[in-house]
Structure formats: C-alpha cells, structure tokens
Amino acid sequence: MPVPPLSKSKQLRALLESPELEFILEAHNGISAKLVQQAGFKGIWASGLALSAQFCVRDSNEASWTQVVDMLEFMSDATDIPILLDGDTGYGNFNNMRRLVRKLEQRGIAGVCIEDKQFPKTNSFIDSGKQALADIDEFCGKIRAGKDSQQDPDFCIVARVEALIAGWGMDEALKRASAYCAAGADAILIHSRQSRADEILAFAEAWDGACPLVIVPTKYYSTPVDVFRKAGVSLVIWANQMIRASVRAMAHVSREIFCQESLTGVEDRITAVDSIFQLQGADELLRAQERYLNRAGASRALVLAASRGNNLYELTADRPKAMLNIRGKPLLQRLVDEFRKRAVNDITVIAGYKSDTLDIGGVDICLNTRFDTTGELYSLACARDRFSDDMVIIYGDLLFRSYILQDLLERDGELVIVVDSLMEEVEITGTPDYVWCDRADDRSLFMQEVRLQRVSEEHTPDDPPCGRWTGMMRVRSQGRRWLDQALDELSTRPGYEQLTLPDLLNHLTGNGRPVTVHYINGHWLDVNSVNDIDRAGDFTSD
Ligand code: SPV
Ligand code: MG
C-alpha cells in the first residue's frame, strides 16, 4: 500500500521540528510557488513584502487580507509543499487572528507567522526604529486566540519578535520570545536588520530552546549557513529572492522589446510558451478532456474513396462506392459522422472516380487524378501533405459500430490496425486482407499486445490467418515517420503505382516496424456487393 503523503501542516511542523537546518523560499503567486517546489524546496514563504510588491502596493497592509488569502489559494492549489504565510500582525486584534487562522486552514495553508508590531505595520527594513511594538500581553492573547481556533492540531503559528529590529535590545527580545512560546507559539522567528549575524547568533546562544528558531537572513545573507546550523537554528527563510529575480528579468526584457521594437533579441532568452503550458498543467487538462469530453480523437482522418467499386455494377455508374446510398445517407457521410462523433473534425477524403459527386459538407477533398490506373497506396500518397502526427487512415466503404473507432482512438501504439478475428459464421465478400499476427485473439477482456506479421489476400487451410484487416489504421508521430520512409522506399519499386495498403503494411513489418493489432469480433462491414448493401442496415440507426 502506498504511504499517503503527509498533510501540509504536518510537513511544516516536521520542518520546524527537524534536527536538521531546513530552508524555505519566498513565492508570491501560483507560478512562483510552483517554481519553488520544482527547485526542490520543502516549503514556501508567502512573503508579505513580495505579495504586496506583485500587486505593486506597499508592504503596509495596503492589500487587504482577503486579497492575500485569495492569492494564497492559487499558490496552495499549484503546489504540494507547505506554505507559511507572513501574516503581518494578524491583520487586526485577536478576533481578526481567529478568523484568519480559520480561513487559512480552509485554503490548505500550513501555518502563519505573526509579528509583534501594530496594525497597520510596515516592512521591518523601512523606518524600523520608529515602529511601535505590540504590548506583550496583547500579542500573547493573539497567539492563544489563533491556537484555540485552529481545527488542525498541526497548523503552525510562528511568533516573530521585532525587538532587535526596533532597537529594544536583547533582553526584551528574549523576554518576548519566552512569553510567546509560553502562549503556545510553535516557533519563534527572531528578526534582525544588521548586515552581520552577530545579534541573531547571540540570541540563539541565549535562547533556552523552548521552541524552534526561525531566521530571515536578508541583510546578513553572507553568513555561511553552517554558522546557523551550529547555532541550532531550525529554519532559514529566504524571504524575497523570487520577486526580486522576476522584477529584474521583467525590467530588462520590457526595455529591450521597447527599444528594439522586435522580439528577436529576447525570444531565445525567455521561457518558451510550452514551458509555461507545462507549469500550468496543460497536459492534465488534455488528458481530462479525453476522459470527460470523449475527445480521444485523432486530429485527422484520411479517407480513401477514389475507387469506383466495380463489383457494384450499375450502382456505381454515376458515383463512387463511397457515395452509395445506405438507408437515405451516403456511405461516406455515415463514416464522416462517426469521426465527428469522436471529435475528429479534420477529415480529408481522397477522391478519384466521379469526384464531383462527393458533396459531403466540411471535408477536404484531395484528388487522385490517376485513379483509374493506380492503386490505394498511390491514392494515399496523393494526400502526403495532409499527413499529421495523429491520424486515422481508413477505407471509404466501411460501416462499423461506433465503439470500434472509439477504441482505436484510445489505443496506444505508433501504428495500430483493426483486425477482425471472427472468421467463421461470417460471409466474406470482396478480396479480404487476411492477417497473421504473433498471437491469435484470445478474446480476453484486457487489451493484448499483439504485433502484425504479414497481410495477404490468400491463405491455405494449413496456415490459417488470425483474422482480417478491416481497413482502419491509426498513426501517431513516430508511426508517421515510418510511414513516410516506407512510402519513399516503395515509390522506387517497380509496380509502385499498383501497390495496396497491405503492401505498405508488409513493407513496414519487413522493416521491423511494430504494427500493433487491435482485435475486434465482427460489428463492421466493407461494402463490396449488393448483398452487403442489404446487410448495411445493421449498422444504421437513422
Ligand atoms: C517579508 O518577507 O515580508 C518579511 C520578511 O516580513 S522581511 O521583509 O525581511 O521583513
Ligand atoms: Mg513581511
């Protein structure tokens, strides 16, 4: 059984309580949060400075707390690692703190850090000496109120001591830290604006270890982190580097585009649009669309409909076989409707004989002008400029139950052909394409991995085939390359113009290309005779 992941609050608690020195990095929106996670960090600092900066307002409670919480929701949704919110002063008194904690828990935020200043605060590095600190008792009440209102026992409240910033001295800082710990804080953040770590290290030295220590080395960043490790610090917050990095990058690129009136200088130096799609999880949406919108469709269908269908005599005197009327609708229209049902809307019909009668709306027509002297492969090659990395190639005279196309579209494989393994009990007309595979159809419920060996119009009783190819083939990107190569090779062969699709399949298997076989048992028909037209009614519901 896979072990369920720890809740985000448990993860944050583990970071605070771990005997190792741990690190979290600032993020200020969904995409920066995701990048922090992808970089390998185990947690995110939702910095008040960075969140206000990305709104381009001051870090003085100008953004409302609900605007902050709304952004946190995007950050939390985009990531699996815990977020510690820089909750300033808790946005008011104990009562605002209670509501904040409840709302943060509801949005999957793992913890909040509150600082012992007064609302509205301003950033600790602006006017630091003049900012009033909160009354100790009032701040302890705020911590208790927060702890009492949390539903999740692992939600963390970090109490931030600003006494050193405000110039109130070490004793005051230690006194406050002890009081906040006693009030229930899960960790103490001791802040300093000095460019050396001396006062932080002095604090750590004097600290009794009643709860873990958190630091923000924005100003004393040159101190090697081993120093903090040795001093017994639990968590380092890199508090604003993501917003600063992005501001510099955006400033440069915007100036460059403005000055050059061109993208050529920047295009290769900025993130590719595809990478943005990836960060947004576009792939997941595509997969979900396949599941929920029934959009497993190949992007394109190529329908071979150039031949007359000589066995149908006068029925095809004025139209190709694909335009035969089956219960009031042309055969080809029925085929096109099946594709559209599966969201395959890009359909090319390769026409030849009586092509002017092909009046099917919304399909592209590609002409094989030499249809009367050439074979199927030549017709297919006429549509080479319509090949795509995701296509179905199909004979235009087929009728089949809907599920067959759906299953083909969902089937993995670079080249997949549909093979009917039902050989008894059916009347076989025309010239069937018998196929031999590496495994016969065992009719298991699960899709079998079966490979094509060869195709032939003939077979002997002592070498029974595994089934008949229906004339449906699915091609993906690698398969398309194999197909292109095979067409190039076959086009130099004598008799190329008369070659068939089975010749192509045999060439592909001869080249060692894996052609996956998707077995079915009946439920399709290729219309070759007047008799077949009578049977076609079985495949029509309208
Ligand atoms: C923040 O990131 O908003 C902080 C840390 O509060 S600092 O800016 O260093 O005060
Ligand atoms: Mg802040």
Closest among 505, 417, 522 to 455, alpha carbons compared: 505
CA torsion sign, 430 to 435 to 441 to 445?
A: negative
Residue 22 pLDDT: 98
CB-based burial of residue 100 (10 Å sphere; 0-12 exposed, 13-18 middle, 19+ buried)? buried
Higher pLDDT, 533 or 239: 239
Residue 27 pLDDT: 98
Per-residue pLDDT tens digits for 259-293: 999 999 999 999 999 899 999 999 898 888 877 87
User: Which region among 153-157, 288-292, 477-481 has the lowest average model confidence (pLDDT)?
Assistant: 288-292
Nearest atom, ligand 1, residue 240 CA: 2
Residue 127 pLDDT: 80
Per-residue pLDDT tens digits for 520-532: 998 888 877 667 7
- Which ligand places an atom closest to the C-alpha of 131? 1
pLDDT at 425 > cutoff 70: no
Reported confidence tier of residue 393, pLDDT bands at 50, 70, 90: very high
- Which ligand places an atom closest to the C-alpha of 45? 1
**Alpha-carbon distance values, 22 to 111, 229, 236, 508 (Å):** 16, 9, 6, 56
Residue 175 pLDDT: 98
> Taking residues 197-219, what's their average pLDDT?
98
> Which residue among 49, 89, 164 has the greatest number of ligand 1 atoms within 8 angstroms of its CB, and so is best to mutate?
49
Residue 159 pLDDT: 98
Q: Are strands 467-476 and 213-215 parallel, antiparallel or unpaired?
A: unpaired
* Cα 57 to averaged position of ligand 1 atoms, centre (Å): 15
Catalytic residue among 59, 154, 433, 532: 59
User: Which region among 100-104, 157-161, 343-347 has the lowest average model confidence (pLDDT)?
Assistant: 343-347
- Which ligand places an atom closest to the C-alpha of 126? 1
Side chain identity at 506, as an amino acid letter? Answer: N
Q: Is the pTM of this model over 0.75?
A: no
pLDDT at 1 > cutoff 70: no
pLDDT at 541 > cutoff 60: no
Per-residue pLDDT tens digits for 290-347: 778 765 556 799 999 888 766 666 777 777 888 888 878 888 898 998 998 888 989 9
DSSP character for 380?
A: H
pLDDT at 129 > cutoff 80: no
> Taking residues 415-439, what's their average pLDDT?
85
Omega prior to 120 cis, within 30 of 0: yes
Residue 227 pLDDT: 98
* Cα 114 to averaged position of ligand 2 atoms, centre (Å): 9
Q: b/e map of 296-309 (b: 16 or more CB within 10 Å)?
A: bbbebbbbbbbbbb
Residue 374 pLDDT: 92
DSSP character for 527?
A: -
Q: What's the CA angle centered on 396, arms 374 and 382, to 5 degrees?
A: 40
In the three-class reduction of DSSP (H, G, I as helix; E, B as strand; rest coil), residue 348 is classed as strand
Nearest atom, ligand 1, residue 125 CA: 10
Is residue 59 among the annotated active site residues?
yes
> Which residue among 65, 88, 124 has the greatest number of ligand 1 atoms within 8 angstroms of its CB, and so is best to mutate?
124
DSSP symbols for 114-168: EESB-SSP--TTSSGGGPPBPPHHHHHHHHHHHHHH-SSTT-EEEEEE-TTTTT-
* Cα 183 to averaged position of ligand 2 atoms, centre (Å): 22
User: Which region among 67-81, 203-217, 230-244, 309-323 has the lowest average model confidence (pLDDT)?
Assistant: 309-323
* Cα 238 to averaged position of ligand 2 atoms, centre (Å): 12
Nearest atom, ligand 1, residue 52 CA: 3
* CA dist., res. 416 & res. 409, Å (int): 9
> Which residue among 91, 216, 242, 243 has the greatest number of ligand 1 atoms within 8 angstroms of its CB, and so is best to mutate?
216
Angle between helices 30-39 and 273-280 (to 10 degrees): 90
Higher pLDDT, 504 or 430: 504
User: Which region among 24-33, 84-93, 143-152, 404-413 has the lowest average model confidence (pLDDT)?
Assistant: 404-413
Reported confidence tier of residue 455, pLDDT bands at 50, 70, 90: very high
Residue 123 pLDDT: 87
Residue 321 pLDDT: 80
Higher pLDDT, 87 or 320: 87
> Taking residues 526-541, what's their average pLDDT?
69
Reported confidence tier of residue 426, pLDDT bands at 50, 70, 90: low
> Taking residues 491-499, what's their average pLDDT?
92
* Cα 329 to averaged position of ligand 2 atoms, centre (Å): 70
Residue 94 pLDDT: 98
Q: b/e map of 201-218 (b: 16 or more CB within 10 Å)?
A: bbbbeebeeebbbbbbbb
> Taking residues 359-378, what's their average pLDDT?
89
* CA dist., res. 534 & res. 538, Å (int): 9
> Taking residues 143-161, what's their average pLDDT?
98
* Cα 52 to averaged position of ligand 2 atoms, centre (Å): 9
Residues within 6 Å of ligand 1 by CB: 47-49, 59, 86, 123-124, 216, 218, 239-240
- Which ligand places an atom closest to the C-alpha of 27? 1
Average pLDDT over the chain reads: 91
DSSP symbols for 84-114: EEE-TT-SSSHHHHHHHHHHHHHTT--EEEE
CB atoms within 10 A of CB 328: 8
Residue 312 pLDDT: 64
Nearest atom, ligand 1, residue 48 CA: 3
User: What token pair was written down for 28?
Assistant: 């200020």
